[in-house]
Chains A and B, each alone.
Chain A
Amino acid sequence: MELDPLLLSRLQFAFVVCFHAIFPVFTIGLATFIAFLEALAFKTGNPLYTRLSRFWIQVFAVAFAMGVVSGIVMSFQFGTNWSNFSYAAANFIGPMLSYEVVTAFFLEAAFLGVLLFGRNKVPPGVHLFAACMVALGTIISTFWILAANSWMHTPVGTELTDGMFVVGSWREAIFNPSFPYRFTHMVLASFLTGSFVVAGVSAWYLLVGREVEANRRALSMCLWLILFLAPTQAVVGDYHGLNTLEHQPTKVAAIEGNWETTRGMPLLLFAIPDQENETNHFEIGLPKLGSLILTHDLDGEVPGLKEVAPEERPPVWIVFWAFRIMVGIGLLMIGCALAGLFLRAGGRYWRQPQFLNAMRLMTFAPFAAVLCGWIVTEVGRFPWVVYGQMSHAEGLTPSLTGGMVLFTLLGYIAVYAAIFSAGLYYLMLVLRAGLESIDQDDEEVHDIERPKRPLSASHVGIEEGGR
């Protein structure tokens, strides 16, 4: 069998970017939560918030360090595997990625150190300011990355001349038509991820009766946040979908599993799309609801996959199912928020084991939802790397052979498996040590052990699982 460098390069990019994305999507949300805790501690003077913040800063440090390490790989992927795309899009993508690096550096240089190690060395107000700046910095980083990504979906403000996109209007290119929706959707997803992880870990501690007062407070805060965030995300997602219908109708057709342009399209709950025969098997759907959601009219016309040639259609089953998993998890999130609200009466939300167990299991759900969301949007734009202007095949590095990509793909899998199993294992140890580890925390001792590294923020030993 001939190895296809195009398919393998796409797989490699998907692998490294998914692996990388897990960490920032969590740290962006967590950074904001920590800033929130610091603000509460500053305002109320309640040491409980300080303890919670100190514990979650440890977790943040580990996840942040892993995000940085995996991010280094990303900045080289564009050149190694997608050199034609890099060259063509460099005038826009280059400054966006560079500004992201600059932002991330700023964040790390100026404020991360103060947040991690400066609690007893700077005034409380300065420490709170550093926490806010770290949170803001992660969001600004998101801004640059999503500006670059959104432009690849809805490329405006640029003109393709002599094989290179030249930027005509920076404002138009950065704030391109899909950017506001994508950016809001992503930031909310990060907040939800942070909230669900904190809620899930707190629920786990509550189940085993550890540090009940602090963890109850954390769970309560997260449930309020989720009650606000989860329904908002559904609304934003809907707007994002309408925007996609306008700019990338084929992607929406794949999401809906809709082959023919039609009026009164059903909303499919289940189907097995058949790419070859241009149809679905075992359809279960709600009549006309699809048209209603997309056009706000029961008999609205929605475009089908057959509007474009077969080779311009994305692999429908991937987009179709990734979308349903994402939305399903979103609905589960709203369900959790409502259940939490219902169980407020009599404080049952932190005592009822079934609910706590459900929240514990939901810890991993937002990661799955985020990855599925990205799969929908990235697979769904097939075959375009810059939508409508440059295909994946055109963007690929011409000198690449299948063997080269297979070598590095296996290499990245091996490196990540070794490094990140160590990282995740350590994260689990930090979580297992829990809030109790904070009390013996002595930052001075810590400086001796390990100077100024993110993981120095925690002094959980690797093998003992304690200190």
Chain B
Amino acid sequence: MHGIDLTIIWAVIIAFGIMMYVLMDGFDLGVGILFPFAPDEDARDVMMNSVAPVWDGNETWLILGGAGLLAAFPLVYSVLMPALYIGVFLMLAGLIFRGVAFEFRFKAGSHRYLWNWAFAGGSMVAAFAQGAVVGAYIEGFNTLDGRYVGGALDWLTPFTVLTGLGLVAGYALLGSTWLIMKTEGHIQQWVYRLAPWLLAAVLAVFAVVSVWTPAVDPSAFERWFSVIRLIWIFPLSALLFALLVVRGLRRRQQSMPFVATMGMFAFTYLGLLVTKWPYVVPPNYTLWDAAAAPGSQLFLLIGMLFVIPVILAYTAWTYWVFRGKVKVGEGYH
């Protein structure tokens, strides 16, 4: 495979997979986070119905990312999993509870409130854990000879708690703008009122993290203020999208707030990637240090190039089939 760097191709695939995961599971986790604050039980039915047909497709990206990471960048997998041991457990427990709540809430009678809590609690814990992972990633990992050598709770610092709460707010924002698009009447009015507060919280965390990051990661400071100035295009784009969200909410637009929130997320994510490039296990290991054998990368790439378009097509088809508003008292047809 002269001339083609498989490692770069895989980096793009994994980065794309993670972004798809964050954007897509993000809004359905967000719906779960908003669950306890819903005005009534009808609203909860509609909220759950709005994501029920798509949420497990959204989580496919997580599993694909996890397995792909093991296959393409074993070092990332074998350092991050031990380093985030407790966090990974909490995230999985959260995802399991909310996953099963999807199945059982509609079947339950008087125990429905328990499944409501499983859905909301599971979503919050999973979102927080993912946010903390982002923070831990910015801080970097304590490694020696390619092995994680830190403690069980190194990932839990004031900084990562902030990023954890930030992602909870961020997912809630995604969830609320998704609901603006998918609901109507009193439910939509409720999320219209809620979304600006969530946006304010997200921007506040965004600002604090931006100021704080150079303190936990000196190389970030260097990258932002001395090397490539073009990098500023990412946060500026993210802020531009934030303005679009504000405008969309003011004008009571249906889809714009959701689309603009996704744009905000995407550019923040790209900004983070550029800050760390080319390190995948900060602060010590680059993409190429972490890569699997070229033969293994190629073996799996053949399957992936075949399946990713199918996943995208299937995803698009599902969203098309279940397009439109979800009404109280009915699901999709």
Contacts and interface: CB of A to CB of B under 8 A. Distances in A.
Interface in A91-117: 91-95, 97-102, 105-106, 108-110
Interface stretch (A253-261, A369-377, A446-454): A446-454
A450 B49 CA distance: 7
A98 B95 contact: no
Contact of B152 (A106, A401, A423): A401
A7 interface: no
B106 A449 contact: yes
Contacts of B88: 76, 79-80
Nearest to A76: B88
Interface stretch (A182-190, A236-244, A271-279, A404-412): A404-412
Given A105-B60, A109-B57, A90 B149 contact: no
Contacts of A403: 152
Nearest to B313: A109
B303 A90 contact: no
**Best-buried of A87, A91, A94 by chain B (most CB within 10 Å):** A94
Contacts of A73: 92, 96
Interface stretch (B197-205, B209-217, B258-266, B288-296): B288-296
Contact of B92 (A72, A453, A461): A72
Interface in A351-409: 397-401, 403-404, 407-408
Contacts of B67: 75, 94, 97-98, 100-101
A2 interface: no
Interface in B240-291: none
**Best-buried of A84, A95, A453, A464 by chain B (most CB within 10 Å):** A95
B101 to A, nearest CB: 10
A296 to B, nearest CB: 39
Contacts of A95: 71, 296, 299-300, 303
Contact of B74 (A94, A99, A453, A462): A94
Given A79-B81, A95-B300, A423 B311 contact: no
A416 to B, nearest CB: 8
Interface string B89-117: 10011011101101110111111000000
Contacts of A412: 89, 93
A455 B104 contact: yes
A55 interface: no
A99 B70 contact: no
Interface stretch (A131-139, A163-171, A204-212, A305-313): A163-171
B186 interface: no
B52 A450 contact: yes
Interface string B31-61: 0000000000000000001001100110110
Interface in A129-185: 164, 166-167, 170
A349 interface: no
Given A91-B293, A94-B67, A102-B304, A83 B96 contact: no
B296 A167 contact: yes
A423 B100 contact: yes
B107 A398 contact: no
B331 A450 contact: yes
Contacts of A448: 330-331, 333
Contacts of A423: 100
A463 B110 contact: yes
Interface residues of A, number: 67
B6 interface: no
Main secondary structure of the interface of B (DSSP, over half): helix
Contacts of A461: 107, 109
Nearest to B91: A76
Contacts of B92: 72-73, 76
B333 A447 contact: yes
A69 interface: yes
A106 B310 contact: yes
A317 interface: no
A87 B82 CA distance: 12
B169 to A, nearest CB: 25
Nearest to A396: B82
Contact of A451 (B71, B147, B311, B332): B332
B206 interface: no
A401 B152 CA distance: 8
Contacts of A84: 78, 147
B83 interface: yes
Interface in A423-466: 423, 426, 447-456, 460-464
A415 interface: yes
Given A105-B311, A400-B82, A455-B103, A86 B70 contact: yes
Interface string B309-333: 0110010000000100000001111
B232 interface: no
B150 to A, nearest CB: 6
A284 interface: no
B72 A451 contact: no
A422 interface: yes
A92 B296 contact: yes
**Best-buried of A69, A90, A451 by chain B (most CB within 10 Å):** A451
Nearest to B57: A109
A269 interface: no
A453 B52 contact: yes
A341 interface: no
Nearest to A91: B296
Contacts of A69: 96, 99-100
A217 to B, nearest CB: 30
Contacts of B66: 75-76, 79
Contacts of A90: 70-71, 74, 77-78, 292, 296
Given A98-B300, A449-B331, A78 B314 contact: no
A150 to B, nearest CB: 17
Contacts of B56: 68, 108
B64 A451 contact: no
Given A93-B70, A97-B70, A451 B49 contact: yes
Contacts of B78: 79, 83-84, 86-87, 90
Contact of B63 (A75, A164, A455): A75
B107 A426 contact: yes
Q: List the 7 closest A-B pairs by CB distance, nearest first.
A: A79-B81, A94-B71, A90-B74, A87-B78, A83-B78, A91-B296, A98-B67
Given A398-B147, A450-B106, 14 more contacts: A69-B96, A69-B100, A90-B292, A91-B292, A92-B296, A94-B74, A102-B64, A102-B303, A447-B332, A450-B52, A451-B52, A451-B332, A453-B102, A462-B109
6 contacts: A80-B85, A83-B78, A98-B67, A98-B68, A412-B93, A463-B110
